[in-house]
Structure 1
Amino acid sequence: MDVIFRSVVGKLWMTIIALFALVLTVFSLLLVQSFDNFYHNRQTSNLQDLAIGLRDGLAQSEDKQSALELASRFGLVHHTGLVVVDEQKNIIGKSEGKPLPRIPVDQLLAEKGLKLTEAIEGKHPLPERFSLSLSEPDRNNPAARNGTLPILAVAVPLEISSGHKGAVVLYQTIEDFDDTLTEVRLLIFVVGVIAFTATTFFAFFLSSRITSPLRQMKETAHRIAEGDFHAEIPIRTTDEIGELAASLNTMATRLNQLVDALSKEKEQLASVLRSMVDGVVMIDGEGNVVVANPPAEHFLRDWRYEHPDEPFPLYGYYQQVVRGGYEVAEDIPVQGRIWSLVMVPLMDKEQIRGAVAVIRDMTRERKLDKMRNDFVANVSHELRTPLSMLQGYSEAIVDDMVATPEEHKELAQIIYDESVRMTKLVNELLSLARMEAGHVELFKERVELRPYLERIHRKFSNLAREQDISLSLEVTTPHQHADFDPDRMEQVLTNLIDNALRHTPSHGSVMIRARGEKVLWLEISDTGSGIPQEDLPFVFERFYKADKARTRGRAGGTGLGLAIAKNIIDAHGGTISVQSKLGEGTTFTISILVDTKTN
């Protein structure tokens, strides 16, 4: 029921019913009041004129008794009762009976509103209405069924005889007026029922015509709210409702276009964020991360692991941005990596509603900067030492400070060795520069593996024996031949074996192994000091020199050998990798594809 009253149909129906009830009530009151005034004035005027006429007739008649009887019969014709009283208000004549009901005349004469005394004194009071109480209800008279009788009475002065005054009292029952009002009320009730029924039907018919398109608009609006922006309202009329439907259809079309544009823009933004190397994080006004691309998620995961007590990531930097309203730039070490953070406030007019942070992994750059600095220091040191020796020994020879030919030959040998060392350093730098520029010349040929590896093994056997290191060769691959540049490959293996011997203590061992079926694996393993885990990702970088945890048995290298080796292997289309554990040794593995049909 409440649903009906809350609906447009119920509201319209109640409005029409209330308006009709108000109009009908006002009309009924005015109609009844009009009937009342009209009937009262007319009956009062008629009764007043009748009373005056009867008084004049009685006053002019010499036979009072005959005139009184005549007046009584005349009054009965007009449904009017008549009572004649003398100065002492004694009844000296009256007429009553059918069709008039029997009324208590004594009660009537005692009514103050009748103003009987004033009439006896010669005044002319106006007719008045009274309700007389009956001893028992009159079932035959509808007006007296409840034990009271409404009447209209008037008293007029009468000269009974010379010197004797009296009054004539005329009265009429007003049940006709009550019957008329009852009929009017019944008619109004019937009209009200008919009007209520017709109004209800009209209200529901009209409201259904109005609410049917409104319900369609409501259903379409729900579909639009649920994401169906292609929903359309059928336009059947050209009135205001039709215009409203057309406006809603236009709104839905434009909203669909706007949503499509926003979706495309969002997808483009998401694609841009996903493709960015730098991490992007957007933080709302409450400090919650609302947008983060994959690099940023990696950073935030490491940050939460390292800072589990913070309410949200980057809390301190976010507080600085919000309080100060300025950009914050900082390098942050997280889980062994260095991240460059730039956070700026996100403004909404004059209010800060969050912050945007751009995060970049600067670990590689910082490591490379350090390696460049180390390389410059190492090259400076490597060049300064032989140059100093060349200068010193050359001055000794020039100044004839050498006494014997043997000393002269020894100094010349030292000058020669240092010049060879400098030449090697310069050649390695030039070779690495050419390789990184893409100028790697390879002269591939079919090489027999076992003789080739045995030759390299013999090359380092004496050196290993001098250092008390076991150098062994193991060939388990079924391949007898491989296609590669023997000189370049020897350069790589020589560098790896030399490094292994230099970083393996006495009584240690170095293994040269060739294995694999579909792929040729060449391994150089040692039992030396190993490489720290944090240095493993960078051993093949240029300028890198992993000598922090390794001891040098002989003079150290320049840190370019492994970078040159990786470039050579890459040029062959192979790979080179390293596995190491500090204090347990290192294994370098080279993989090269071989042609299985020719083996």
Structure 2
Amino acid sequence: MLKSHFSWNWLLTVLVLALLFLAFCTLNSFYVENLGRNLMAEASFISSSIKVALDSGRYQEVQNVAATFRSRFSKALAIVDGRGNVIASSGEIKLKDLPLKDVLNGKKYVDKDVVRIGVFRRFRAAVPVVLENGAALAVVVGLLPGDIAKILSINLLFFVLTFLGVLFSTFMWKRTNSLIKPLETMVDVTRNFAQGDFTRTVHVNSQNEIGKLSRELNLLAKKLRMTLEENEENKTLMSELLKSLEDGVVVVDVETRIVFVNASACKLVGADTKRAEGKKLISVIRHYELDEAVKETINRGIPNYKEITLLPSDKTLKVSITPYRNKKEKIAGCIIVMKDMTEIKRIEKMRTDFIANVSHELRTPLTSIRGFVETLIDGAYQDPTLAKRFLKIIEKEVGRLCRLTDNMLDLSRIETNQLKLNIKDVSAEEIIREVMIIFENRLKEKDLTYYEKFQENLPKVKADPDWLRQIFVNLMDNAVKYTPSGGKVWIEAESKGDVVEFRVCDTGAGIPEEDLPRIFERFYRVDKTRSAGSGGSGLGLAIVKHLVKAFGGDIWVESKVNQGSKFIFTLKKA
């Protein structure tokens, strides 16, 4: 009888040991693998996020990213170059035993040996990042010492529980029947744990070892559930971070199906986020070269860089394509980062056009001056009448150069906020009437009709009186210049809300609809052949626009070909 009791006791002990060992192996493996995948994902994300900054040599920005990563995710980070030097870091992380050479050659690495993790107090993941110049760096993400201590505590807890189980089974052989049901329950619960379900718990209403064991198992399940929830929160936070980036981010699998796409990418390519995910890349972004570059990256496993233009929007995108690997070190897809270069290209074109236009505007009067000077040197100076005529022409061209130079300097000072404005309450009516005295003769010469339509008791406005006068001079000059004989020119003004709206109108040639968006650009002319002999610098409307903006107002134009134009601008009331 006693022998049978001991045999049953040892059988029960083996059962408890097997149960606890199963729980330990399953839960520990699940936890460590899940944590390793998270570290690998975070390292891949950081490598894609800092690549552009590394290519540009902005190491301070990289350090800021490292510091932000440490504070937001409570993990250590280090960026290591090919010589083992740490470029940027945040938090305590050990690089000993890290296969840096393999990582720099394109392999990803993660610590998976739990025993060695406990001995050396480190748990790290490392991924390579290849710069545009071919240099390779390693991004290393690791747990902080306190988090590793938590892993060791969990392992220790399992061993303690195992020991308690053995002790319990040895001394509770008289109550074998009462052990069977709780143990069966724990087996079922452990199976649920192995499947990732930590919601079910063990309920044993006793104060003995079985009750304690069940409570410890429930506590363990709670901790693991909290850890998984924290990991899910980190994933959600990372997803939100990707969504908030100004650069477009698209993640595709090996079949070029879109796994993730942020709002910025959808905005760039004109797609819907929900409809884009799960579709082929080429069906969302219809660009053959981009699709081929993505396939090449997936097939060869090396980064790719492209500059593409999307039609019909004519957007220019700088695209960085980086492969990512799964835990088996096989390529699982690639990450596409798109940066909108359209505005930069437009500014570059404006700069080139500006240089060309300035050169053209300077070349015409200089060529004329040079020709007349050479003629004078060749003997024309001996003829007083001819010499006087040439000198007047030279004087006129020099005046044109001076006006162009003055206008360019004024525009430069206005654009760079270097112009000192004397903003005060101004009567626009008085300034307009002063300006019209200047144009009396020109109006008579061209047989133009001029009149005013002012609201009664027109309020004063906030502006610099001298520069406000210049605004009306420039607009009236264009109205008179491009209105044929017998036409009309007039100025309207009325109060609207907290602003006063002014309209300089004419019945001139008008402006084609396609030219309206560019009418305020420097040197832009609607009809260059007609404008070439007008004597203008091509800067008048650009100066007007920037002055109105400096006064806190707005300006636009309404025009139809052969029906005239209205230049409308608003100024704040005094």
Q: What TM-score, normalized to structure 1?
A: 0.54
- Structure 1 residue 558 displacement after superposition: 3.7
1:522 aligns with 2:494: no
Instruction: Say which SS state the counterpart of residue 453 (structure 1) adopts.
Output: helix
Correspondence for 1:259: 229
Find 1:280's aligned residue among 243, 249, 253.
249
Find 1:497's aligned residue among 464, 476, 481.
476
- Structure 1 residue 265 displacement after superposition: 5.8
1:51-90 deviation digits (Å, cap 9, x = unpaired): xxxxxxxxxxxxxxxxxxxxxxxxxxxxxxxxxxxxxxxx
1:249 aligns with 2:219: yes
- Aligned pair in 2 of structure 1 residues 549, 234: CA closer, same or farther (>3 Å)? farther
Correspondence for 1:332: 309
Find 1:321's aligned residue among 274, 294, 301.
294
Correspondence for 2:127: none
Name the CA distance, whole Å, in 2 between partners of 1:250 and 1:528: 85
- State whether residues 379 and 558 of structure 1, in contact with CA within 8 Å, keep that contact through their aligned partners in structure 2: no
Correspondence for 1:348: 325
- State whether residues 432 and 563 of structure 1, in contact with CA within 8 Å, keep that contact through their aligned partners in structure 2: yes
1:389 aligns with 2:368: yes
1:569 aligns with 2:539: no
1:514-564 deviation digits (Å, cap 9, x = unpaired): 1124311112234555556665555445x4514368943842644433332
- Structure 1 residue 427 displacement after superposition: 1.4
Name the CA distance, whole Å, in 2 between partners of 1:434 and 1:406: 42
- Of structures 1 and 2, the larger Rg is shown by 1
The residue identity in structure 1 corresponding to 2:304 is E
The residue identity in structure 2 corresponding to 1:562 is L
1:86-127 deviation digits (Å, cap 9, x = unpaired): xxxxxxxxxxxxxxxxxxxxxxxxxxxxxxxxxxxxxxxxxx
The residue identity in structure 2 corresponding to 1:312 is V
Q: What TM-score, normalized to structure 2?
A: 0.57
Correspondence for 2:463: 484
1:306-325 deviation digits (Å, cap 9, x = unpaired): xx996332462223321354
- State whether residues 302 and 335 of structure 1, in contact with CA within 8 Å, keep that contact through their aligned partners in structure 2: no
Correspondence for 2:262: 293
1:327-373 deviation digits (Å, cap 9, x = unpaired): 14133143343222414142216644333333333333333222222
The residue identity in structure 2 corresponding to 1:332 is T
- Structure 1 residue 384 displacement after superposition: 1.7
- State whether residues 280 and 359 of structure 1, in contact with CA within 8 Å, keep that contact through their aligned partners in structure 2: yes
- Structure 1 residue 206 displacement after superposition: 5.9
Find 1:359's aligned residue among 338, 346, 350.
338
- Aligned pair in 2 of structure 1 residues 220, 302: CA closer, same or farther (>3 Å)? closer
Give me the CA root mean square deviation. Answer: 4.2
Instruction: Say which SS state the counterpart of residue 270 (structure 2) adopts.
Output: helix
- Structure 1 residue 282 displacement after superposition: 2.4
Find 1:448's aligned residue among 423, 427, 438.
427
- State whether residues 579 and 588 of structure 1, in contact with CA within 8 Å, keep that contact through their aligned partners in structure 2: yes
Name the CA distance, whole Å, in 1 between partners of 2:257 and 2:562: 46
- Give the aligned length: 387
- Structure 1 residue 410 displacement after superposition: 1.9
Name the CA distance, whole Å, in 1 between partners of 2:291 and 2:446: 59
Structure 2 residue ranges without an equivalent (≥5): 1-174
- Aligned pair in 2 of structure 1 residues 409, 497: CA closer, same or farther (>3 Å)? same
1:545-586 deviation digits (Å, cap 9, x = unpaired): 143689438426444333322332232222223445667654
Name the CA distance, whole Å, in 2 between partners of 1:309 and 1:509: 58
- State whether residues 242 and 249 of structure 2, in contact with CA within 8 Å, keep that contact through their aligned partners in structure 1: no
- Aligned pair in 2 of structure 1 residues 571, 529: CA closer, same or farther (>3 Å)? same
Name the CA distance, whole Å, in 2 between partners of 1:314 and 1:416: 59
Q: Which has the higher contact order (CA 8 A, sep 6+)?
A: 2
- Aligned pair in 2 of structure 1 residues 220, 364: CA closer, same or farther (>3 Å)? closer
1:406 aligns with 2:351: no
- State whether residues 545 and 558 of structure 1, in contact with CA within 8 Å, keep that contact through their aligned partners in structure 2: no
Name the CA distance, whole Å, in 2 between partners of 1:246 and 1:338: 60
- State whether residues 530 and 550 of structure 1, in contact with CA within 8 Å, keep that contact through their aligned partners in structure 2: no
- State whether residues 307 and 318 of structure 2, in contact with CA within 8 Å, keep that contact through their aligned partners in structure 1: yes
- Aligned pair in 2 of structure 1 residues 352, 212: CA closer, same or farther (>3 Å)? closer
Correspondence for 1:552: 531
1:153-188 deviation digits (Å, cap 9, x = unpaired): xxxxxxxxxxxxxxxxxxxxxxxxxxxxxxxxxxxx
Name the CA distance, whole Å, in 1 between partners of 2:558 and 2:286: 36
Correspondence for 2:283: 311
The residue identity in structure 2 corresponding to 1:456 is V
- Identical amino acids, percent of aligned pairs: 27
- Aligned pair in 2 of structure 1 residues 268, 402: CA closer, same or farther (>3 Å)? same
Name the CA distance, whole Å, in 2 between partners of 1:364 and 1:244: 64
- Structure 1 residue 298 displacement after superposition: 1.7
- Aligned pair in 2 of structure 1 residues 267, 207: CA closer, same or farther (>3 Å)? same
